Structure 1
Amino acid sequence: MNKHFRIAALAAALATAQGAAQATLITTAPGGASVIDFDDAASYVTGGPSVQTGGAIGADVQVSTLGGPLQFGAPYGAWTLSDNGEWTGASFVGVDGAFQDEANGIAASLVFDLAIPQGSVGGFLNFDPSFVYGGGLPLPLYIAAYDGSGTLLEDHFVPLWTPGGLNAGSFFGISLDSNAIARFEVSGPYAVLDNLTLAPVPEPGSVALLMAGLGVLGAVARRRREN
């Protein structure tokens, strides 16, 4: 593939991406993302209704919970996750409960409200898999993304099995092609999260500028070839 064709193909791919709306489950952190690692979690008030975090990376994220108290770090040295092992230390956030109200769709959840909506949000997760629904089926871990009006954008049940693990888990998140995610929820008994990951989608103006730059490069490449 010659250089001119590669430039044209990249520009076409960018234009196509701008016009195709979609949401996907992601299992690895996107490149160029900002990460809230909760290394300063010891300074937060445990058990409160909500906590603002992210200032260290210039973000504004309100963390709260449903169905259980908000907890930063492992109380008494360890956060037990039954068959999934345990988390230790203080650099994570968790919901200290397993409350389930199936009739009203309420579950023990971590809630992250973003002052600046993002294109991708996720984190390193785990939970206690020993709880079951009223019908005897195991409660899975569930993640969901909402826009600023509370409309559900995308949700997924995610498999997470780390038998006997120490500080083990997996990265899961949701990615869109626009900066629409204003709330990210993680639901599951005693759910825990570390490394909350935020990644914006480049604004249309930025993409247009990049495409214009590619056009200039293409013109230069043609001129050199003609000479």
Structure 2
Amino acid sequence: MRTKYGIPVDKIQAIWDAENPYIDEPGFADTRKIVPPAQFQSLCTEPRTMHFLLKPTEEGTAELDSLPPPVPLAQNPDLIPGRLTLHMYEEMISRRWSDTFIGQPLALRTLGEMRRLILAYAKQNNYQYCIVDTSPSLGPLNKVALSTVDAFLVPCAPDLFSLYGVRNIGNSLQRWSHEFKTLYTLHAFFAPCSPRKRRDATHLTASALA
């Protein structure tokens, strides 16, 4: 939603169209093989979507050499555009979730890549805050997003649906916290739901993703 109202539609379409061969067929790795290096580097000098940034992890290939720039919205706020195809990455989270408990490197990378990108953009652009605008669901992608941020806000109205929605989120967070604590105990993941514990455990990700 934030992409729709933050960027003109024609600019969104131009960003998406340029990425289509990397997101759909033939895919990120295969497209890079047939595209001249200079053309790919030129592509990465323009803003790219979050799915484009996550696609190498989705396919299990090498990360980007450098971060594409964000879209400047005003003097201070920037935006990394979204993309409707992000459900493909969510499906990969579901497939690889159980492998994190045995320390499988690609599974760990899949769960941790979103936070790694956020931290990398924050460092590169001196951001004080990074806001992840999620969909109103409790699927695998939002499970990772909500469990790896430092805090979250739930916009709601004083009605029955919001009351049960907030309760549902609370119950889900308790279950997720238990799962992430189990992973942390197994030294398999870096981001338990406590920011203080996460600060002490970030080195586990670096070693797992190296």
Structure in which a larger fraction of residues adopt helix: 2
TM-score by length of 1: 0.25
Structure in which a larger fraction of residues adopt strand: 1
Q: Which of 1 and 2 has higher RCO (CA within 8 Å, sep 6+)?
A: 1
TM-score by length of 2: 0.27
